[in-house]
Amino acid sequence: MCRIGPRCCDGSYQEHAGHHGATCYLAAADDPAPPALGPGDHGPAVLALQQRLASLGYWLGSPDGNFNATTEQAVYAFQKAAGIGRDGSVGPVTSAAVAHGAVPHPRSASGHVIEVDLARQLVMLVSDGKLDYVLNTSTGGGYNYTDRGVTYKADTPVGTFHVYRQTDGMVTDSLGQLWRPKFFDSGFALHGDTDVPPYPVSHGCVRVSNQAIDWIWANNLAPIGTEVWVY
């Protein structure tokens, strides 16, 4: 649930934003607020939201006026980039932030690179330093787990890697299922999942939605050899 914090210097409000800080996005408190939008909603307001997010690079499939799962994932990603509450719905703070526009800034300057920002829990597809697309992700949750009698910590490896192996289908192992994984370091992969919350929960892989990984495969956006930056 979003939380509204102190007034900003211009009379607007800021939303609680955690360690990334807060940005003043709301208009003056006496301005009429647009209606909140969330999963299951549909209509022109949802279509306008989808078109705006898509124009900023947040992938959500084809805008169709239905607030579906891919739209919720795009809202999660946007809220992370904007440094505001991550609830997947579009209330006054998120609506104002969408109107203002917020995008993450990639680090790579050349080539086609997939960047994984662990702090913001975002995947970015970047071409020659230009941000093409942004996806919500859930990476290693930092907890301890035991697999086949050995205890590990659920961390995502940091560094520069390359996609070296891929499977066009479901991979099932002792830790669960990976849909159409793109492996970049040992058993760590960018893969699809039915559960991609706006916070880190994986054993160390980089989760995106099943729809997102299907789109990546369909458009050949992560072929063998693709550089992957995790930081």
How far from 63 is each of 31, 97, 156, CA to CA, in Å?
28, 19, 32
Inform me whether the pLDDT recorded for 24 exceeds 90.
no
In this predicted model, what pLDDT tens digit does every residue of 176-210 receive, in sequence order? 999 999 999 999 999 999 999 999 999 999 999 99
State residue 11's pLDDT score. 33
In this predicted model, what pLDDT tens digit does every residue of 147-180 receive, in sequence order? 999 999 999 999 999 999 999 999 999 999 999 9
In this predicted model, what pLDDT tens digit does every residue of 8-20 receive, in sequence order? 433 333 333 344 4
The closest of 136, 117, 140 to 198, measured between CA atoms, is 136
Q: What pTM, to 2 d.p., does this model score?
A: 0.87
Inform me whether the pLDDT recorded for 23 exceeds 60.
no
In this predicted model, what pLDDT tens digit does every residue of 97-149 receive, in sequence order? 999 999 999 999 999 999 999 999 999 999 999 999 999 999 999 999 999 99
Inform me whether the pLDDT recorded for 22 exceeds 90.
no
State residue 123's pLDDT score. 99
The closest of 213, 202, 109 to 163, measured between CA atoms, is 213
Distance, in Å, from the CA atom of 190 to the CA atom of 139, rounded to the nearest integer, reads 9
Inform me whether the pLDDT recorded for 217 exceeds 70.
yes
Neighbouring-strand partners of residue 192: 179, 208
Distance, in Å, from the CA atom of 77 to the CA atom of 97, rounded to the nearest integer, reads 13
| Residues 64, 67, 73: CA angle, nearest 5 degrees | 110
**H or E element, residue 6:** strand 4-7
- Tell me the domains of the chain and their CATH numbers: 4-100 (1.10.101.10), 112-230 (2.40.440.10)
State residue 25's pLDDT score. 54
